[in-house]
Amino acid sequence: MAHLENMRYRKQPGAAAVYEDATVISGMSPTTPNTPATAVEDVHGRGGPESDLGYSYEKKDLDYASYSAAAAAAQAGGGGGGGGGTGGERGLRLSISSNQWLTLGLIVVAAAYVRLWRLSSPAQVVFDEVHFGKFAGRYINGTYFFDVHPPLAKMMLAAAGRLAGYDGVFDFKTIGLDYVAANVPYVGMRLLPALLGLAMVPITYVTLAAMGHAADACALGALLVTFENALLSQSRLILLDAALIFFTGATVMFWALFFTQAHRPFGSRWWAYLLLTGVNLGNALSCKWVGLFLVATIGVWTLKDLWEKLGDLSITLPQYARHFAARAVALIAVPLAVYLFWFQVHFAVLHRSGDGNAFMSPEFQNTLDGVSLGHTPRDIYYGSRIRIRHAATNAGYLHSHMSNYETGSKQQQVTLYGFRDSNNYWVITRTEADEERHLNSSDPAALQQIKDGDIVRLTHWKTHRRLHSHNVRPPITTNDYQNEVSGYGWEGFKGDSNDHWRVKILEGDPAVPESKERLMAIHSRFRLIHVNQRCALFSNRRKLPKWAHEQVEVTCMKSAKFPKTLWRIETNVNEHIPADAPLAEYRRPGLVAKVLEATAVMWRINNGLTKSHPYESRPHTWPWMRRGMAFWGGDERLVYLLGTPVLWWLSFAACLAFAAIQAVLFLRDRRGMYHRLMGVRERYTDSVGFFFVGWLLHWLPFFIMGRQLFLHHYLPALWLAILGLVGSMDLFTRRLSRKVRHVLLFGLLLLTVRMYFQYSHLAYGTPWTREGCRASKWLSTWDYKCETYPSAHPAKALTATSSSAAAAAEAPQPTAASPAAANHHEDPPEAQHVDPLEHENKLNEPAPRIDHDKLNLNADKLNSEMKKIATTAKGPDAGPVQKEDEKDENHVGAAAAQDPNQPPTPQGPLH
C-alpha cells in the first residue's frame, strides 16, 4: 500500500524548510492521478519535485536565503504549464541579484587579467597564425583565396587587423617570423580572440544561472573557465577556435534563457531569445563546420521539447503548430540565412582574382575581377582546335608536351595542367575511314558538327601526337582496370584504332537543349570512351612524379563513375566558322550556387586531409588529454597546448557518471522502482542532460573522420563537459551542509588555480625551469621538451651533462639493425616546424609552370626524324582488337629498352 504523508511548507531560519500538509502518494501528485508530483515548488520557484522525500525532514541548505524572493514570486505566479526541454516550462525562472552581478563583475576583471596578460608574447608567428593571419591580409587586399573553413571567424580577424592598422602586406609565411621587425600590429589582432575568450566567462555564469543552478555554482563555473589552460592558450592567438567557442557558448546561453520564458510563450523576450539562439547558431556554423554538432545538439533538444508538448493536453493543436513553426523559422531558416549572409560578405570582399581560383569552377572564376574567360564559338566542328577542361575537379586542361613517361609504354605524357598555354590545344578530327568517306562526298569543304555518339580522334596541336590508350598500366594508378593514356604518332602518321574515342554527351545546358545532342563549347559535358578498351578518359587529382613535372595524372578507366570522367570544351578555334556564328560563355552563378560550390569543395578538401602529422591525436585520447600540441618554441620558452588536467578528467568522469546513472534509473524504472535521485532527478536530467548531449555530439562525430585531428578539436566539447561537472556538483551537494558543500566547491577551484599556475608557462610562453617542467609531466605522453628550459641548478646540470656525454662516448653506438636502434625514439619536431594544413595547401596546388619553349627546342628535328622512319615503317595493323592488344603489350616490352626521348625503331605495328 502506498505510503501517505501530509506535509506543509514552512520557512525556517537559516533557509531550512519543512514540507507538510501536501498529500503525496509514493511520488504521485495528490491532484492528478498517475501524474508525477511537480506541483510542489522548491525554494527556487522551479516546481522541483520533492515528493520522493518519503518522510518529513528538514532540507538544510537546499537553497540559500538569496533565493527566497524568487521563490515567493514564483509561487505567487504559479508554474508554467506543459513540459519544457530544460525544465523551463515547469516553472524555471532566471533571477540574478545585484550581489551576484557584482560577483560576476569581479570574476570578469580577474579573467581579463588572465586572458590579456602578456598578450604580446611571443612576438613571432605562432602555429596556425601562419594561415589565418595570411587570410586576414587577403581580406584586406580583396584577393580571392580558398580555405577549408567558412569565412566568419577569418573575417573577424581581418576586421580586427584592419582596425589595428594591419595593411595586409606581411605574409605570415612561416612560424617564427618576427612581428616587431615587420611592424605588424599583431597584438590588436590577438586582442579579438582574447576578448572572445574573456566573454566565455560571463556566458558560463549566465548559462548556469538560466539552467537553475545556485549562485556559488555559477561563480565556480565562471572561474573554472577562467583558469582552464587549453581555453586560455587557444584564445590568445590569431586562430579560429576562440570565435567558434564564443558563438557556441552564446547559442547555449540564449537557448537556456529561452526556456526561462516558457511561461510566457510568444512574448517579446521569448522571441528574442529564440531568434538570438538561431543567429548565433548560424554564426557558429559560419566559423567552422564543427558548428554542425551544435546544430545537432539544439535539434535533439528541440525534438525533446516538442515531444513533451505533444503530450501536454493543455496545448491545443493550433498552439502546437505555432510552437513548431516558430522553432522551424528560428532554428532552421535563420541559421541558414546567417550562413548565406556571411558568405555574401565573403564574396563581396574577396572580389579580385587570387590563388584560390584554381579550386573553383570557371563559372565561379568568371565572377572575380581580373578573370576574363570571354566567349568562344558555340558549335564544335571537325577540324576545330579546342581546349578541354576536366569538369569534375577543376584541376586543369587536357595537356601534353615533349616529355615521355618513365614507366609503361614510355610514350609521350598526357596530363592535366592548371595553366592556360598552347600545349592545352587539341585538334578534333575524324577517323581515317570517315575522313576518306568525307573527302569523297559532294561537299568535302562543308563544316560538319560533332554529335553525340560520334567517333573522333584528338591530335595534340603542338607535337602532333594523337590521344592514345592501350592495355598498359598508368605510372601512378596501377589498378588493372585503368589504362595508360599517352600521346603517340607524329605529323603525317595515320595512326590506328587505339586513337579512336567515342563522344558521349551526358549533360547539356537546359537553356540550350541542343547541347545534349550536339557537342557545344561550355554547354555540353561529355565523356570520351575509348573504342577498343571501352574505358573512359578519367582523372582524380593524383599528381605524377617530378619527371612528369608533378602534373595531374590522366588515365582511361573501365566502369568509371560519371563525375570524374566528365569534360567540357572551353575554347573553340576554327577559321572556317562564320563570323556571325552563335557564341558560348560561362554564366555568372548566383549566391546560392556559389555557396553550394564552395561548400562542396570545402567538404572534399577536408576529407582529403589525411596526411599524418607529428602532433595529431585521435578522439579517444582527448578526454584524458593523452598528449598536447606544440605551437611555438624558442629562447628557452615554449608554447604548448595543454589543458588543466583536473578539469579534463573530472568533467569526463561527470559525463560518464551521468550516462551510468541514467542507465541505472532506466532499468529501475522498467522494474517499477522509480527513484527520485535525492529530489534532483528532474533538474539533473534537464540541465546536466543537455550538457551531456552537447558534449557527446561534439565528441563522437570525430570518431568517423579520417582526416587529421588535433586536441583543439575537443575544446567546444570540453566547455560543455565543464558545465556538466559544475551542474552535477551543484545538484548533488545541495543536501550537504554549507561547510561541506563549500569545501568541495572551493577545493575544486583551488586545485584548478594551482594547476593553472603550474601549466601557465606553456600557455603564455614564459620562462620556466627544467626541474619544474619535468615535475609537471604527469603522463609520459606529454611530449613538450623540458630541455628547452634552463636548469635551476646550473652546476649540477653541467656535471650531469658532462657525465652523460662521457658515457655516451664510451658506450657502443647502436647500428641500424640493432634492437637499440629499433627502439630508439626521436623527440617530435620543434613547434616551428608544425604545419598541420600543409597537405591542404598542396593538395590542389597548381603544378609549376613549365618552360615549354625549352622542351620543344628539338621538336622540329624530332618530327623530321620520325618522318624518315615513317617511310620505312609498316602501316597500322588491321587485325582484330585482341591481336592488336597482344602486339601492343609486346611492343611495350621492346620500347622499354629504347631511349624514351627517341622515336621507336620500326619493328612492327606502331601503337
Which pLDDT score, from 0 to 100, does residue 794 have?
A: 67
Contact 636, 705 (CB under 8 A): no
Query: Span 690-713, mean pLDDT?
Result: 95
CA distance 322 to 304: 16
What is the identity of the amino acid at 331? Answer: L
SS (H, E, C) 783-834: CCCHHHCCCCCHHHHHHHHHHHHHHHHHCCCCCCCCHHHHHCCCCCCCHHHC
Q: Which is more confidently placed, 846 or 129? A: 129
Burial class (CB in 10 A: 0-12, 13-18, 19+), 244: buried
Taking 60 as the threshold, does the pLDDT of residue 26 lie above it?
Answer: no
Say which residue the cell 608554447 belongs to.
Answer: 639
Which pLDDT score, from 0 to 100, does residue 352 have?
A: 94
Which pLDDT score, from 0 to 100, does residue 518 have?
A: 95
Give the model confidence (pLDDT) of 714-737 as tens digits: 999 999 999 999 999 999 999 999
Q: Which helix (H) or strand (E) holds 107?
A: helix 98-116
Q: Is the dihedral of CA 84, 89, 90, 92 positive or negative?
A: positive
Taking 70 as the threshold, does the pLDDT of residue 62 lie above it?
Answer: no
Which pLDDT score, from 0 to 100, does residue 92 have?
A: 63
CA distance 840 to 128: 13
Taking 70 as the threshold, does the pLDDT of residue 881 lie above it?
Answer: no
Taking 90 as the threshold, does the pLDDT of residue 664 lie above it?
Answer: yes
Neighbour count for residue 906 (Cβ, 10 Å): 13
Contact 388, 874 (CB under 8 A): no
First to last CA, the chain: 96
DSSP-derived pairing of the beta strands 466-469 and 525-530: unpaired
Query: Span 302-317, mean pLDDT?
Result: 93
DSSP-derived pairing of the beta strands 412-417 and 397-404: antiparallel
Give the model confidence (pLDDT) of 742-765 as tens digits: 999 999 999 999 999 999 999 999
HSE-CB for 99 with a 13 A CA cutoff:
5
The DSSP code sequence of 75-96 is HHH-PPSS--TTSGGGT-----
Give the model confidence (pLDDT) of 564-607 as tens digits: 899 999 999 999 999 899 999 999 999 999 999 999 999 988 88
36: confidence class by pLDDT, cuts 50, 70, 90? very low
Residue 364 CA: distances (Å) to CA of 345, 587, 588, 717: 16, 9, 7, 36
Residue 42 CA: distances (Å) to CA of 19, 734, 882: 10, 12, 88
Taking 50 as the threshold, does the pLDDT of residue 14 lie above it?
Answer: no
Q: State phi, psi for 564 to the nearest 5 degrees.
A: -90, 10
Q: State phi, psi for 28 to the nearest 5 degrees.
A: -105, 150
Burial class (CB in 10 A: 0-12, 13-18, 19+), 728: buried
Q: Which are the contacts of 285, defined by CB distance < 8 A and separation ≥ 6? A: 150, 291, 292, 294, 295, 335, 338, 339
441: confidence class by pLDDT, cuts 50, 70, 90? confident
Q: What percent of the chain has pLDDT over 90?
A: 64
CA distance 578 to 572: 13
Query: How is residue 326 written as a grid cell?
Result: 516558430
Tell me the helix, strand and coil percentages in the chain, rounded to 5: 45, 15, 40
Q: Which are the contacts of 243, defined by CB distance < 8 A and separation ≥ 6? A: 152, 153, 156, 193, 196, 287
Taking 50 as the threshold, does the pLDDT of residue 907 lie above it?
Answer: no
Taking 60 as the threshold, does the pLDDT of residue 310 lie above it?
Answer: yes
Taking 70 as the threshold, does the pLDDT of residue 838 lie above it?
Answer: no
Q: Which long-range contacts (CB under 8 A, 24 or more apart) does 856-859 make?
A: 856/401, 856/402, 856/462, 856/463, 858/402, 859/402, 859/462, 859/463
Give the model confidence (pLDDT) of 543-567 as tens digits: 999 999 999 999 999 988 888 899 9
Query: Span 37-55, mean pLDDT?
Result: 35
Query: How is residue 360 written as a grid cell?
Result: 573553383
612: confidence class by pLDDT, cuts 50, 70, 90? confident
Q: With CA atoms as reference, report the closest residue to 251 among 277, 285, 271.
A: 277
Query: How is residue 598 written as a grid cell?
Result: 564552395
821: confidence class by pLDDT, cuts 50, 70, 90? very low
Q: Which is more confidently placed, 352 or 32? A: 352
CA distance 27 to 674: 9
Q: What percent of the chain has pLDDT over 70?
A: 77
Q: With CA atoms as reference, report the closest residue to 215 among 76, 127, 107, 301.
A: 107
Q: Helix, strand, or coil here: 618? A: coil
Which pLDDT score, from 0 to 100, does residue 439 have?
A: 83
Burial class (CB in 10 A: 0-12, 13-18, 19+), 344: middle
Taking 70 as the threshold, does the pLDDT of residue 740 lie above it?
Answer: yes
What is the identity of the amino acid at 678? Answer: M
CA distance 12 to 26: 26
Give the model confidence (pLDDT) of 104-122 as tens digits: 999 999 999 999 999 999 9
Which pLDDT score, from 0 to 100, does residue 671 have?
A: 87
Average pLDDT, the chain: 81
Which pLDDT score, from 0 to 100, does residue 864 have?
A: 53
CA distance 429 to 450: 10
Taking 70 as the threshold, does the pLDDT of residue 186 lie above it?
Answer: yes
Cis peptide upstream of residue 122 (ω within 30 degrees of 0)? yes
Query: Span 366-384, mean pLDDT?
Result: 91
Q: Helix, strand, or coil here: 723? A: helix
Q: What size, in residues, is the chain?
A: 911
Q: Which long-range contacts (CB under 8 A, 24 or more apart) does 111-114 make?
A: 111/198, 111/201, 111/222, 111/225, 111/226, 112/198, 114/226, 114/227, 114/232, 114/756
Tell me 329's DSSP state.
Answer: I
Which pLDDT score, from 0 to 100, does residue 13 have?
A: 36
Neighbour count for residue 311 (Cβ, 10 Å): 9
Say which residue the cell 613538450 belongs to.
Answer: 784
Q: State phi, psi for 876 to the nearest 5 degrees.
A: -65, 145
